[in-house]
Amino acid sequence: MARINVERAHNLGLEAAREKAQPLVEKLAGQYGLTPTWQGDTVKLKRSGVNGTLEIGEKTVKVDVELGMLMSAMSGMIQSEIERSLDKALA
């Protein structure tokens, strides 16, 4: 199993960060077949072999993903995509 942890600081405030995170969640869900479930400022992302969360805070956005055996081989590519998309969304 592989674990991906990405955290980015921002100065957007909670509401603006949430708005900017929405397209990122939709992109990741569509690209990797994830089912997003919002609970307040946390999004749970799930599918077979993938279990993750995206937490939106006042000053940070954190993404934590656990990949099953089959998806672990793609961990580097998935982490790069998360980092790139998160940086673009919060810019």
Q: What domains can be seen in the chain, in order of their start residue?
A: 1-83 (3.30.310.50)
Confidence (pTM): 0.88
Q: pLDDT of the chain along its 91 residues, tens only?
A: 899 999 999 999 999 999 998 888 988 889 889 999 999 999 999 999 999 999 999 999 999 999 999 889 989 998 998 999 899 988 8
Other C-beta atoms lying within 10 Å of the C-beta of residue 4: 18
2: which DSSP letter? E
DSSP characters for 31-44? HHT-EEEEETTEEE
